[in-house]
C-alpha cells in the first residue's frame, strides 16, 4: 500500500480542468459585468458602445486591466441589449494575449448579467453545453453552470470576482471529469491565482481508475493551489502545492 502511495506521489495531479474552468469563469464574469455597466456614469472610456447592441472593452487600457496576468492585450466584444438592469449577451475575446499565453475559451454564448447600480456590483450566470466530434466519432460532451458575483465599485481594474458552480465533461473513450467550485475569489491584488475558495474534482478514465481531489486557494500569489486531500490516482500528493494555470501558457515562458 505504501509503495502505491509513493508511486502516485511521484506524478503531479492533473489539475488542468480546474485551471481551465476557473480561468474561463473569471474572464467571462469580469467581461460580462464590465459590459453590463457600459451605460453607467462611472463606466470608463475603455468600455465603449459605438454600435448599438455591441460593447467593446479595450484591454490595452490600464483602466480595463484584465483580472488575470501581468500584461494583457486585446479586446472583448459583447453583443446584447444593455439598456435594462438585466442583460443577455454573448462574448468574444479578440486577439487576447495574457503574458504571452491565451484564454482556453475564446467565445461564450448566453450570459445573463444583472446590475445592482447602488452597490456597483453585477451578478452573472452562464451555462455552457457543448458537443464535439459527432462527425468524426471522437465525441466529447461538456456541461457547466456558473453563478458569479463581480464587485466593480473600484472600477474594472480593481474588480473582485467570486465564482460558485461547476460542470462535467465526458468523452467517447470513457474519460469523465466533474468539478465544483465554492467561494472561489479572484481579486485585483493577485492576477496569478484566486486568493480564497475551494474546488473539488473527480476524474475517472476508461480503465476505471478514479481520482478525487480537493484544492484550496490562498493569498500567496504564486499561481499555485494547495491540494488539501486526494484519493485514488493522486494519493500521496495531499498537503502539497501545485501550479494551476488559469490560462493557456503554452506560448509563454512558464512552460
Confidence of residue 1 (pLDDT cuts 50, 70, 90): very low
Q: Identify whether 152 is part of a domain.
A: yes
Asked whether residue 3 carries a pLDDT value surpassing 60, the answer given is no
Q: Identify whether 198 is part of a domain.
A: no
Q: Identify whether 216 is part of a domain.
A: no
Q: Identify whether 115 is part of a domain.
A: yes
Q: What mean pLDDT value characterizes the chain?
A: 86
d(CA 167, CA 21): 8
How far is CA 17 from its chain centroid? 10
Task: Identify the domain containing residue 98 by its residue range.
Answer: 14-191
C-beta of residue 219 within 8 angstroms of C-beta of residue 232? no
C-alpha cell at 127: 451555462
d(CA 178, CA 185): 20
Asked whether residue 6 carries a pLDDT value surpassing 80, the answer given is no
Q: Identify whether 112 is part of a domain.
A: yes
List the one residue out of 1, 50, 11, 2 whose CA is nearest residue 237: 11
The per-residue pLDDT for range 40-96, each reduced to its tens digit, is: 999 999 999 989 999 999 999 999 999 999 999 999 999 998 888 899 999 999 999
List the one residue out of 200, 140, 143 whose CA is nearest residue 170: 140
C-beta of residue 121 within 8 angstroms of C-beta of residue 150? yes
C-beta of residue 76 within 8 angstroms of C-beta of residue 91? yes
C-beta of residue 171 within 8 angstroms of C-beta of residue 17? no
C-alpha cell at 172: 467517447
Q: Identify whether 224 is part of a domain.
A: no
Q: In this predicted model, which residue has the larger pLDDT, 248 or 141? A: 248
Asked whether residue 4 carries a pLDDT value surpassing 50, the answer given is no
Q: Identify whether 233 is part of a domain.
A: no
Helix (H, G, I), strand (E, B) or coil at 245: coil
- Number of domains the chain is built from: 1
C-beta of residue 50 within 8 angstroms of C-beta of residue 94? no
The per-residue pLDDT for range 15-48, each reduced to its tens digit, is: 898 999 999 999 999 999 999 999 999 999 999 9
Q: Identify whether 170 is part of a domain.
A: yes
The per-residue pLDDT for range 199-243, each reduced to its tens digit, is: 999 988 766 567 788 999 999 999 999 999 887 766 677 889 999
Amino acid at each position: 500500500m505504501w509503495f502505491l502511495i509513493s508511486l502516485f506521489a511521484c506524478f503531479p495531479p492533473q489539475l488542468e480542468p480546474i485551471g481551465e474552468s476557473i480561468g474561463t469563469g473569471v474572464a467571462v464574469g469580469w467581461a460580462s459585468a464590465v459590459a453590463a455597466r457600459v451605460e453607467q456614469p462611472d463606466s470608463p472610456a475603455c468600455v465603449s458602445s459605438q454600435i448599438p447592441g455591441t460593447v467593446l472593452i479595450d484591454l490595452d487600457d490600464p483602466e480595463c486591466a484584465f483580472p488575470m496576468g501581468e500584461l494583457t492585450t486585446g479586446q472583448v466584444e459583447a453583443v446584447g441589449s444593455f439598456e435594462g438592469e438585466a442583460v443577455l449577451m454573448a462574448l468574444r475575446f479578440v486577439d487576447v494575449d495574457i503574458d504571452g499565453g491565451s484564454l482556453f475559451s475564446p467565445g461564450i454564448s448566453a450570459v445573463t448579467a444583472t446590475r445592482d447600480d447602488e452597490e456597483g456590483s453585477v451578478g452573472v450566470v452562464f451555462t455552457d453545453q457543448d458537443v464535439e466530434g459527432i462527425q468524426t466519432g471522437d465525441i466529447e460532451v461538456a456541461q457547466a453552470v456558473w453563478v458569479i458575483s463581480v464587485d466593480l465599485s473600484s472600477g474594472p481594474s480593481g474588480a473582485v470576482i467570486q465564482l460558485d458552480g461547476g460542470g462535467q465533461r465526458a468523452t467517447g473513450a470513457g474519460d469523465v471529469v466533474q468539478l465544483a467550485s465554492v467561494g472561489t475569489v479572484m481579486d485585483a491584488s493577485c492576477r496569478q491565482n484566486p486568493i480564497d475558495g475551494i474546488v473539488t474534482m473527480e476524474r475517472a478514465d476508461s480503465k476505471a481508475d478514479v481520482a478525487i481531489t480537493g484544492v484550496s486557494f490562498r493569498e500567496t500569489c504564486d499561481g499555485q493551489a494547495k491540494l488539501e486531500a486526494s484519493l485514488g490516482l493522486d494519493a500521496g500528493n495531499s498537503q502539497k502545492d501545485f501550479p494551476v494555470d488559469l490560462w493557456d501558457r503554452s506560448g509563454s515562458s512558464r512552460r
